Amino acid sequence: MKLNQLTIKQAQEGLRNRKFSSVEITKACLEQIKKHDKKLNAFITITEREALESAGKADELVSQGETLQDKPLLGIPIALKDIFSTKGIRTTAASNVLKDYMPVYDATVVEKLKNAGAVIIGKTNCDAWAHGSSGENSDFGPTKNPWNTEYVPGGSSSGSAVSVASDMCIVATGTDTGGSIRHPASFCNVVGLKPTYGRVSRYGIVAMASSLDSIGHITKTVEDSAIILNTASGKDPKDATTLGFPIPDYTESLKKEIKGIKIGVPREYFIKGTDPQVSALVKKAILVLEKQGAKIVELPHTQFANPCYYIIQPSEVSSNLARYDGIRFGLGRENFGDEAKRRIMLGTYTLSAGYYEAYYKKAMQIRTLVKKDFESAFTKVEAIITPVSPTLPWKLGEKVDDPLKMYLSDIFTITANLAGIPGLAVPCGFAEGLPVGMQILGPQFSEELLFQIGYAYEQATEWHKQKPNL
């Protein structure tokens, strides 16, 4: 096994036992990037010099006897979605508006990852401003799916999913406003976590839609996902929406048996229009976890979730993008791409006097109903399993001219953002040579449970071990 193929867990053990050094892992990742990124376009910025420097420092610390107690991620190469502010490393949001923007500060999560010893290897490509479901909407060119480069890798955290799936790094961060972590994770056969809203600080991450943005990560295994959440989560005095909910050691309870757990399947997520191959794989996956099959639950307001999301999200986007006026930093507003302009116009319209009541306010009421749907479902079952995407990955260019079709690819993921609940995407098979993922949803702050279910499934299957043939 090559060092760049390691999981966090394996890298931690190897580093602790001095089987290899952080510099060696980092070099292996850099080499993989050099070899394949021309084709895949997962990175916008590669921080080779800084990465090797901090890997060297990590090795020094290990040789001085630093335990992983204080620095659990010591020496582990990580890629950051290019909307995480990184002090002194340009942060573009994959938009021409910020193509030369150099942050003067680190996002809270970046600070935490650095303090934990992680080695930042580069900034990954994504849909500009995290607007998109395919990774094609980047001013730095589309990212390609490593399983078939004619296909999209999913978005918006496209580069993060691809860099992990193709072993260009050990782990990558992402953001999920309507599915932007879970979606590309499922298209690339990797694990993606969208934590509970308020679990991980948003401070320093270019805002898309503030009430929906969740900060998570993409990993090779469920266990790795738990390791990163241990570091990333917690109340941040700089983010008033983070909550002081206790942080368990997510890795500790991982292996707890889940026998007898009640899993629900929402009728509304197995509908016409969903690719039958996808439905079949997810149903098969549920049988692995529960031999008798899952309980059917109702989430009656699901059909309104998409229109509701496409009012709230652009409303917040239109306001959040107002600061990009080219006066203090970045370039002027003429550099916004079509999708950003579309959302600015939609949001400005729905917030306008006379329309606010009819659109934004109504959407907020529906949002409450979606939330209540989940609350009531979670009184009957402990977790819900659904497909991540209604379709298999599609061909590059297939949906770029049809924004509505593109928006519909998020229908199974946006509900978790509206409700503020966590969702974990786990690989569950292949169809036509392309990966399919399932998502495990639970009540707010139930990440431990999601990891237990995901881990149990991983132990019983081999899907996550499949690697693309690059």
Partner 1 sequence: MNYTPVIGLEVHAELKTKSKMFCGCSSDYFGQKPNTHTCPVCLGLPGALPVPNKKAIEWCIMIGLALNCKIANFSKFDRKNYFYPDLPKGYQISQYDQPFCQKGSVKLANGKQIGITRVHMEEDTGKLIHQGDSTLIDFNRSGVPLVEIVTEPDFENAKEVVEYLKKLQQIVRYLSVSDADMEKGNMRLEPNVSLRKKDVKELPKYKVEVKNINSFRFVEKAIVFEIKRQTEILENGETPAQETRGWDENKQKTVSQRAKEAANDYRYFPEPDIPPIRFTQDQISKIKSQMPELPIAKLSRFIKDYLLSEYDAEILTREKDLADYFEKTVNDAKDSVKYLTIRPSPKIIANWLINKRPDIDKILPARLIKEIILAGELTRVDDIELEKVIKKILFENKKAVADYNSGKIQVIGFLIGKTKQHFPKADTNQIKTMIGKLISLYT
Q: Which residues bind partner 1 (CB under 8 A)?
A: 83-85, 91, 93, 98, 101, 103-105, 107, 202-207, 209-211, 237-241, 315-316, 318-319, 321-325, 327-329, 348, 351-353, 356, 360
Nearer Cβ to partner 1, position 239 or 275? 239
Nearer Cβ to partner 1, position 21 or 96? 96
Q: Which of 180, 186, 315, 389 is catalytic?
A: 180
**By the 8 A CB rule, do 195 and 422 touch?**
yes
Nearer Cβ to partner 1, position 20 or 101? 101
Structure-block tokens of residue 417: 């953002």
Q: In the bound complex, what is the minimum distance in angstroms from residue 319's beta carbon to partner 1?
A: 6
Q: Which of 205, 208, 201 is nearest to 106 (CA)?
A: 205
Residue in this structure with the two tokens 């500060």, named with its chain if needed: 105
Q: Which of 95, 156, 157, 389 is catalytic?
A: 156
Residues 6+ apart with CB under 8 A from 364: 312
Residues 6+ apart with CB under 8 A from 339: 127, 128, 129, 131, 132, 137, 403
DSSP string computed for 66-103: --TTT-TTTT-EEEEETTB-BTTB---TTSGGGTT---
Residues 6+ apart with CB under 8 A from 81: 123, 124, 126, 130, 157, 159, 160, 172, 173, 174, 175
Cβ burial, residue 229 (10 Å; 0-12/13-18/19+) = buried
Active site residue 389: no
Nearer Cβ to partner 1, position 264 or 347? 347
Number of other CB atoms surrounding residue 204 within 10 Å: 24
Q: Which of 22, 27, 71, 81 is catalytic?
A: 81
What is the dihedral sign for C-alpha 115, 118, 122, 125? negative
**By the 8 A CB rule, do 192 and 185 touch?**
yes
What CA–CA distance (Å, rounded) separates 250 from 86? 26
Structure-block tokens of residue 372: 């209540």
Q: In the bound complex, what is the minimum distance in angstroms from residue 325's beta carbon to partner 1?
A: 7
Active site residue 180: yes
Q: In the bound complex, what is the minimum distance in angstroms from residue 441's beta carbon to partner 1?
A: 22
Q: In the bound complex, what is the minimum distance in angstroms from residue 96's beta carbon to partner 1?
A: 14
What CA–CA distance (Å, rounded) separates 217 from 158? 12
DSSP letter, residue 423: E
**By the 8 A CB rule, do 162 and 155 touch?**
no
Nearer Cβ to partner 1, position 67 or 352? 352
Nearer Cβ to partner 1, position 134 or 315? 315
Q: In the bound complex, what is the minimum distance in angstroms from residue 198's beta carbon to partner 1?
A: 9
Nearer Cβ to partner 1, position 185 or 317? 317
Q: In the bound complex, what is the minimum distance in angstroms from residue 241's beta carbon to partner 1?
A: 6
Structure-block tokens of residue 268: 């509304």
Nearer Cβ to partner 1, position 4 or 315? 315
Extended strands (E) in 237-339? 263-266, 295-297
DSSP letter, residue 83: T
Q: In the bound complex, what is the minimum distance in angstroms from residue 236's beta carbon to partner 1?
A: 9
Structure-block tokens of residue 189: 């056969």
Q: In the bound complex, what is the minimum distance in angstroms from residue 370's beta carbon to partner 1?
A: 16
302-320 vs 338-351: helix crossing angle, rounded to 10: 100
Active site residue 158: no
Active-site residue list? 81, 156, 180
